[in-house]
Amino acid sequence: MPAFSVDKFEEVESVDMIVKKAGFSLPTHGNIGKGRLVSDKRKILPFYGSKVKPLSTEEAMRLIASHSKTRKISHSSTYIHRKFMPAKVLQKQRNSPEKKKKMFSNATALKAKTHQQTQNIDDQRRSNQLGRIPVMQENHITKACSPREKVLKALRLFRIKYKELDRDRVVWRGESKSAAGRLVFDTLASLVREGKQVNAEKMIGSVPGVKIGDDFQFKTELSIIGLHFNIQGGIDYISRGGLKLATSIVSSEGNNGYIDRFDSDVLFYSGQGGNVRSKDPKLIKDQKLVTGNLGLANSMREKNPVRVIVGKKNLDQRERGKRYVYVGLYLVQEYWRERGPRGNVLFKFKLCRASGQPPIDLRDYC
């Protein structure tokens, strides 16, 4: 490239002239109204001679591409370093305490998530069995729940509260049955205090919102919905005008020392009392026609229906307690006295299914 003298100037076309030729108007630069514009040509210095040769367009593009490739290589240096790292170093990193701690934490979180999903599936299955209504929906027109929805809601709250209290306790394994059984009573007491109980008053006949075939995991669930209030006893009754009348019974089908026999339309039921479950023969006594036994005898004379719940052994080992199935309304046909297997006097009652009640097969619940 030839060298130029510093004192030599070259006249070139000004930027203003180029803009003017393009059709744009130019400001007057302080000469408004005088009609004078800046000179169309300006004196500028020529390029000073240099040994550096200017880059052509092709060379500039190659330089830009080279810089881009260098940046990509620098960003992937960590990956390349780990890819070609010796196997012994990688194995050492995998076996580091921090790595093992992270893997253990992830495995624990996955196990907890799987357990929660299993519980949700079990809750959904039981909800489907309970009247085949898995979801409780509010009546958006009246802003009130139907009797069935109230019952399902109370049972759902019971199970939620039960799980909350269960998580706060120590592991069940190794605890006595009495300690484990207190949890369901605590759950019931908590919901009653909060006013979550439905059908809170005893009644004779059907309970609003409860259907034949509904099954329950705990006996306390029967109380929270008003199906059977006597948690400790098998016979529940009400007093009307000084007369005791039975409202509901829970049959144990041969468990707890009682000998009951259920055959869909007919139930042979053993009366309550007499300490028949005691292991000490001296404490076993004859049953008397009082309280619940008297209520069943009066119900026969008054011909009022009695709700019958059958307790079945729970075959699912993942669930505690029995399964209690509501089988419908029955009428007391007769009762008598007989000697039990331990020599004491027992009251026996024969109940038959009331007319209009749909049949039920308990084999579906085994």
pLDDT at residue 364 tops 70: yes
State mean pLDDT over 120-137.
52
The letter for the amino acid at 176 is: S
Q: How far apart are CA 275 and CA 126, in angstroms?
A: 34
Where residue 294 falls among pLDDT bands split at 50, 70, 90?
very high
Determine the pLDDT at residue 150.
95
Q: Which of 235, 332, 228 is nearest to 288 (CA)?
A: 235
State mean pLDDT over 16-38.
53
Q: Which of 277, 292, 289 is nearest to 342 (CA)?
A: 277
Instruction: Look at the pTM and tell me if it is higher than 0.85.
Output: no
141: helix, strand or coil: coil
Please give the structure tokens belonging to residue 326. Answer: 């509501």
Highest mean pLDDT: which range of 7-16, 17-26, 69-78: 17-26
Better-predicted residue by pLDDT, 116 or 363: 363
Q: How far apart are CA 154 and CA 208, in angstroms?
A: 13
* Chain position carrying tokens 């399964």: 323
Q: How far apart are CA 247 and CA 235, in angstroms?
A: 8
Which range, of 3-7, 85-89, 114-118, averages the lowest pLDDT?
3-7
Q: How far apart are CA 364 and CA 325, in angstroms?
A: 11
Topology of the domain comprising 202-364? PUA domain-like (2.30.280)
The percent of the chain in helix, strand and coil, each rounded to the nearest 5, is 40, 20, 45
State mean pLDDT over 103-117.
67
Strand (E) or helix (H) holding 332? strand 323-339
- Domain edges within the chain: 202-364
307: helix, strand or coil: strand
Please give the structure tokens belonging to residue 60. Answer: 């500039």
Count of C-beta atoms within a 10 Å radius of residue 77 = 10
Helices marked H in 27-136 — which ranges?
Answer: 57-75, 77-83, 87-94, 97-129
How high does pLDDT run on average in the chain? 75
Determine the pLDDT at residue 145.
87
State mean pLDDT over 61-67.
72
Beta bridge partners of 269: 349
Tens of pLDDT along 256-286? Answer: 567 788 887 899 999 998 887 777 888 889 9
Q: Which of 12, 9, 10 is nearest to 39 (CA)?
A: 12
354 contacts 330 by C-beta, under 8 angstroms: yes
Tens of pLDDT along 326-336? Answer: 999 999 999 99
Burial of residue 332 (number of CB atoms within 10 Å: 0-12, 13-18, 19+): buried
Q: How far apart are CA 8 and CA 224, in angstroms?
A: 108
